[in-house]
Amino acid sequence: MGVRLMVVDDHRLLAEALASALKLRGHRVLAAAAPSAGAADLVISRAPEVCLLGTASPAEPGAFDPVVRIKRERPQVAVVVLGPVPSPLGIAAAFAAGASGYVRHNERIEGVERAMMKARAGEAAVEPQLLQGAFTELLNPATQPDDEGARLLQLLTPREVEVLVRVAEGEDTRLIAAGMGIAPSTARTHVQRVLMKLGVGSRLEAAALAARTGLLDRATGSSATAPAPVVSPPRPPGPPRGVPGQQGGG
């Protein structure tokens, strides 16, 4: 007995090609729709037994929002996702959204058909290898790359961040001191502390490291958004002092 289904994909040509192939195998295709983002309304109104939902980016946030809505309003519709591999996080996200199956984009038509039949019967339609990969990724997530710029920025005080920005702009100790309203010796001390904390031996290396890691962009961004310093209002003038030693003319 054929399955009453809909095919949804961001690429209309793929949706129509898959729909034609399934029609030739005896299934009743209600519609082949694109893009997938606006297909939830159509699926809800037509209420197929199975919806084949194609996605090119299953790991992106919101990729399976249509699945969530379909399952909320038409829980009897079994959704089978057609997506790329490897994408273990995408597979996990698909099932978390309520999908009944996940099939590779490059699967043969027989594999898609088997997944449809399983999903309609209420079974999970996913290859054991894909499911194992998804569980492995969830249990042993890949380490996120270290944001070296953010890490280095945390080592510096706000005053040292300002010194680093001025160093990167090519200011010497005299200009740094004048721009910050501090003594040249104090400016020199700040520069030495910045070099020490960044682990570099020269101002040029500090500027290069700040640019390479994005530290300079973060530093200028934080200084641009920093609140302006609070300036105390001027004190009212005191009573006039007497003029000492004035004598009248004789």
pLDDT digits (tens, 9 = 90+) for 155-175: 889 999 999 999 988 899 999
Model confidence at 4, in pLDDT bands (50, 70, 90)?
A: very high
Q: For residues 31 and 50, is the Cβ–Cβ distance under 8 A?
A: no
Q: For residues 33 and 40, is the Cβ–Cβ distance under 8 A?
A: no
218 vs 82, which has greater pLDDT?
Answer: 82
Q: pTM of whole model > 0.85?
A: no
Q: At what angle do helices 184-198 and 148-155 cross, to 10 degrees?
A: 140
Query: CA-CA distances (angstroms) from residue 32 to 6, 29, 80, 103?
Result: 6, 7, 14, 18
Q: At what angle do helices 158-168 and 203-213 cross, to 10 degrees?
A: 100
User: pLDDT tens digit string along 204-230?
Assistant: 888 888 877 777 777 766 544 343 443
Here the tokens at position 244 are: 């000492």
Nearest to 87 by CA among 72, 99, 107, 103: 103
Main-chain dihedrals φ then ψ at residue 123, nearest 5 degrees: -100, 160
What pLDDT was estimated at residue 133? 66
Model confidence at 34, in pLDDT bands (50, 70, 90)?
A: confident
Query: CA-CA distances (angstroms) from residue 16 to 12, 19, 29, 44?
Result: 6, 5, 10, 20
The residue type found at 128 is P
Beta strands 101-104 and 125-126, pairing class: parallel
Question: Which positions ≥6 away from 19 have C-beta within 8 Å?
Answer: 7, 29, 32
What pLDDT was estimated at residue 212? 76
**Residue indicated by tokens 């289904």:** 5
Average pLDDT over residues 128-147: 62
CA distance 49 to 182: 75
Q: For residues 16 and 32, is the Cβ–Cβ distance under 8 A?
A: yes
CA geometry: angle 198, 150, 155, nearest 5 deg: 40
Average pLDDT over residues 11-27: 90
